[in-house]
Structure 1
Amino acid sequence: MSSFSPRSVCRPLLLVSLAALGGCASSPGKGPAGSSLNDLYAQVDSASKGYEAALRQAREGNEQASQKTLSAALDQLKRASARCDSTPGCEPQRFYAVFDRLLRLKDGSAIGDEGLETAGETTSPDGGANTGAASLPQAQRSVTLLHGQKLSELIAMNGPVKAALEMWLTQWRPNLMDAWVNYQYMRFEMWPQYEKADLPEAVLFGIMAKESGGKVHAVSRSGAAGPLQFMYATGLRFGLSSDSGFDTRFDPGQSARANAAYLNEQLRVFNDNLELSLAAYNGGEGRMRRLAGDRPEVSFYDPSVYDELSQETRDYVPSVLAAAWLFLHPESYNLRFPKVDGRPGQVTLKRPASISELTVCLGSAGDMSDGWFRTLRNLNPRLNPEEAQPVGATIKLPQPLESAYASRCADGPWPILASDLHHAAVPAPPPARSTPVGDRVYKVRGGDTLISIVRKLRCSSVEEIARTNRLRRHEIRVGQVLKVPDCG
């Protein structure tokens, strides 16, 4: 599981709420003379009513009028918020409560079923509808449902969630941005699995952001693996096993399918309580069932539940919910995710090349300042990034890179440079020590993974075997002979 943990926040989150509206509180003494508290609160109430009016107009199909009314309501709320600290008796919490309510209204709480859009649908150039992976629309920003319930009504804007919001917007912001970019390139594989399971995409993103940041080959110290960090036994239960020596927990699509199945299972157990279901994912379903017992309406924050959980799980649940909330409402928190063209593509190699070599010759194509290594690894999880693939092999990559491959990597100086760097001679390592008494050897069989081998031999650890055999990224192949330290 992720090592991030939100610190406690002992003051209202002015940075998150009011600055997100675009109006920072003014300094004492700078407000208009004679500001009336009642007048100020009347402005807040008026802004709220204006927002509701905008939603009614949108439901009636008058989008232009809705946008005009919405902009006026937000400007009114911004101006009122800036006067709060210069007005005697003004309670900032009242502004935060209205802000949260407006976001929930924006998320569809005031719109009937006729106002719902079909998530994941866009219109094709010929006027037809594109759905699912082929269209790759931007993430739905309006009504998002979980088993018929509005997600906005399931996320409580309480202290822990707001503390996590601040962390994602400050210390964890680089991780959030990396998770967003990584997810956009894998979305065509992951989102359809959640869509089929009738689960919100925002929840998928929240879990992935917290668990791995979208790094497909992430492995935790406890052995959880993949973009959604499945433990070995839990993965097996949901169909994640070995496929010709490849651990399918590292497959983005398969991992998302298994995660959706697990979450739906827990939602059934906990009466569609998202917080308890997420806690089960992190802290163990058995433990959560014992704590919740036969109380279908018990809250995650009920002392009989919350006080018995580990600090990791107490932090995990609000962190996932906060990331999901930002996925839905980035602009309301002064956050702008980068635009990413995640359309899937592929190339057929014109010359042998490894993932590492392709990364060098693609350079910063498409203005990707961090390079394409992570994306190519995520899209080709079965490939050893250091191993050259033969001419004719298919490599998955974002569609916009197809032309970059043709111009930079099929011929010319860049692939030559990449090959020269990749095959550079390095000093030979010292001779491997002979297997001492007490070490064992194990021949890898079909279906084996490092974790299954450790469980089978009941000794050593994944990291110890990987270090002893100088394995890169825990990759093994059928027939390979491994040295296994024996502690007995």
Structure 2
Amino acid sequence: MRISRLLVTILFAGFFSGSADAAKPTRESLLYTQIDQTLKTYQQARDLYETGDDSQLVVMNKAIEDLEDQANQCFKLKTCSKTKVISAYEQLIKQSDMPSSAASGATALAPQNIPALGTTIKLLGSRNLELLTKYNEPMQAAIANWLTVNRGFFMDSWENYHYMRYLMAPEYEKAGLPEALLFGMMTKESGGKVHSVSRAGAAGPLQFMPATGRRFKLDSGPGYDMRYDPQFATRANAQYMNERFEELNRSLEMAIAGYNGGEGRARRIYGERGGDFWQENVYTEWPAETRDYVPAVLAAAWLFLHGHEYGLTYPKLDYSPGSLTLQRATTINELTICLGNPHNQSGWFRVLRNLNPHYEPGQYIAQGIVLRAPKKLVASYQANCVGGPRSEQAKMLTQARKTPVFYRPAPVIVAETTANDDMDSASAVSQKHNGKYIVKPGETLMMITRTFDCDLSRLIKVNDLSPPNYVIHPGQEIILIGCKK
């Protein structure tokens, strides 16, 4: 006989044997009693199982089935507390530490279907989160948001993440955390754009404030900021989240809330009111931004795992990592142009920036430097970026100024004698023959490069010109080494 049926029989037998004046129990209160008893049954069976009584596996799985039945009954009643049921599931899951050899009759909540027992990874694979997607309206609203107005943002984040996945996911795996949580947080924080900076100064794919970044060894200095590095930022985020899980009794929602609303506030609320984020007296303690943030992260994590159930389809792309060994000095901007957009309609600017966060787009990167890049770009780089018309075109376009250059001819001075003219002309020729050139007003480095048919990278190196724009000034002497005219 099913435990739930037995409990109902006992409860109703007690009710009918009572006096007519006794308070009539509600259907909800009966269900709450059943739920509490089911949890006790599971706990008792689990304790016996730990002493070596393998027959208790059947009792434990039966308790799980009973709890599912009771949850379904509760959700049909408008006044039944869904939080009560979800909390019961969470308690049961936290107690689940059976081996993967559990009885074949186990349900979806059986431990073999809950990865990495004893860590927070189980929370994203549990019925707790599944129940939120079915019955929690803020969660449903967040899923709807990702599927409507922010669908494009979500898809961009998904693609950005997969090019960086080989750098980020292992850090979460080593920390015992679920990849879906990483994706959910990254999507909400930055959409996978590693150079994102908030108005408050939070930066990187996971939006660390400067002080918090330093605390987790995300150092910054002239020319670099480790908050932008996807691998190190993920490592820091995993350490931060595990700190919150340890403090907050592994409450997934409270740990996520603490990431957005502050760890101090999370500790205070947890100490004063407990760790059930969805309880009114806890939920209302958080600012509106955090109340939106938590379901948004969970919804993105859920869609990462179950997007196909909502009609999401992802592009079938090759995200295999590779590298480009630069055969000539270049910039990310130049590479983006000369690579074109094979295999990626949006081009490669964002991917190259994300994988090489310490270089500015217009910063010249020296020959011989190895850049991270998708493996499929190697052939396009060799064909279009090492030399040839596409490469030269990219150089010309990236060197162009945003504002026009207005030419102002120098005042005409009438020479007194033809001899003087000859002397000026000879001087100009002498300047050229001596391998030097004096910059005239309005001239740019690209103009000089074209005039004397020079190798631009060599001209920059010989004259020690400064990135990123390599500005030259009237009267400046340019050494014309590497020029053909």
User: What range is the shorter-chain TM-score in?
Assistant: 0.5 to 0.7
SS in 1 for 2:125: helix
Which residues in structure 2 correspond to 1:407-418 (within 5 Å)?
407-418=383-394
2:209 aligned residue: 231
**Cα distance in 2 for residues equivalent to 1:111 and 1:290:** 30
Alignment of 1:60-99 (within 5 A): none
Distance 1:194 1:293, change over 3 A: same
Q: Is the aligned partner of 1:257 residue 2:207? A: no
> Aligned partners of 1:280 and 1:428: how far apart in 2?
51
| Pairwise CA distance, 1:372 | 0.4
Note if contact 2:115-2:121 (Cα within 8 Å) is conserved in structure 1.
Answer: no
Deviations 1:132-169 (A, max 9, x none): xxxxxxxxxx8555446342324222111111001101
Match of 1:374 among 338, 343, 350: 350
Match of 1:201 among 150, 175, 179: 179
What TM-score results when the alignment is normalised by the length of structure 1?
0.58
Partner SS state of residue 208, structure 1: helix
Distance verdict in 2 for CA 1:152–1:313, change over 3 Å: same
Q: Is the 8 A contact 1:223 1:232 kept in 2?
A: yes
Q: In the TM superposition, what whole-angstrom CA distance separates every residue of 1:107-140 from its partner, at most 9, and x where no partner exists?
A: x999975389xxxxxxxxxxxxxxxxxxxxxxxx
1:429 CA displacement: 10
Task: Name the counterpart of 2:199.
Answer: 221
Rounded to whole Å, the distance in 2 between the matches of 1:429 and 1:304 is 64
- Give 1:50's aligned residue: none
The equivalent residue for 1:419 is 395
- Specify which structure has the higher proportion of helix: 2
1:165 aligns with 143
How does 1:402-481 map onto structure 2 within 5 Å?
402-427=378-403
Deviation at 1:427, TM superposition (A): 3.4
Identity across matched positions, percent: 48
| 2:260 alignment partner AA | N
The alpha-carbon distance between structure 1 residues 111 and 287, as it changes in their structure 2 partners (threshold 3 A), is closer
Q: How does 1:179-198 map to 2 (within 5 A)?
A: 179-198=157-176
CA separation of 1:403 and 1:181: change in aligned 2, threshold 3 A: same
Alignment gaps of 5+ in structure 2: 1-75, 103-112, 407-466, 469-485
Aligned positions of 1:28-107 closer than 5 A: none
Q: Return the TM-score normalized by structure 2.
A: 0.58
Report the Cα distance in structure 2 between the residues aligned to 1:163 and 1:210, rounded to whole angstroms: 15
After superposition, where does 1:239-250 map in structure 2 within 5 Å? 239-242=217-220, 245-250=223-228
Q: Does 1:151 align with 2:124?
A: yes
Is residue 324–residue 370 contact of structure 2 (8 Å, CA) maintained in 1? Answer: yes
Q: Give the Cα separation in 1 of the matches to 2:192 and 2:333.
A: 19
Aligned with 2:154 (options 151, 176, 186): 176
C-alpha spacing 1:423/1:151, structure 2 compared with 1 (3 Å): same
Q: Which runs of 4+ in 1 moved over 6 A?
A: 108-112
- SS of equivalent to 1:338: coil
With over 3 angstroms needed to count, the CA separation of the structure-2 counterparts of 1:410 and 1:143, relative to structure 1, is farther
Distance 2:202 2:170 in 1: 23
Aligned residue for 1:193, secondary structure, equals helix
Aligned residues: 304
Q: 1:115 to 1:256 in 2, by over 3 A?
A: farther
SS of aligned partner of 1:345:
strand
* Alpha-carbon distance between aligned partners in 2 of 1:426 and 1:152, rounded to the nearest angstrom: 52
SS across alignment from 1:346: strand
Structure 1's unaligned 5+ residue stretches are 1-90, 117-141, 431-470, 473-488
CA contact (8 A) 2:338 2:384 kept: yes
Deviation, 1:341, is 2.0
Given the alignment of the two structures, is residue 212 of structure 1 paired with residue 190 of structure 2, yes or no? yes
User: Following TM superposition, by how much is the alpha carbon of 1:413 offset from its aligned partner in structure 2, in angstroms?
Assistant: 1.5
Letter in 2 for 1:221: R
Whole-angstrom distance in 2 between the partners of 1:408 and 1:355: 14
Aligned match of 1:302 in 269, 279, 282? 279
* Residue identity in the other structure for 1:198: G
Secondary structure (helix, strand or coil) at the match of 1:321 reads helix
Q: CA deviation at 1:385?
A: 1.1
1:114 is aligned with what amino acid? S
Aligned residue type for 2:370: T
Give a deviation string over 1:376-421, Cα, whole Å, max 9, x none: 0001101111012122121211111111111121122111110010
- Higher RCO by CA contacts (8 Å cutoff, separation 6 or greater): 1
Paired residue for 2:255, among 277, 283, 286? 277
Q: Is the 8 A contact 1:184 1:340 kept in 2?
A: no
1:428 Cα deviation (Å)? 7.6
> Are 1:209 and 1:323, in contact at CA under 8 Å, matched by a contact in 2?
yes
SS in 1 for 2:139: helix
1:317 is matched with which residue? Answer: 294
- 2-side partners of 1:329 and 1:395: how far apart? 34
Label 1:282 to 1:393 Cα distance change in 2 as closer, same or farther (>3 A): same
User: Aligned with 2:387: secondary structure?
Assistant: coil
SS at match of 1:289: helix
SS of residue paired to 2:100 = helix
Match of 1:383 in 2: 359
Matches of 1:429 and 1:258, distance apart in 2 = 47
Max radius of gyration: which structure?
Answer: 2
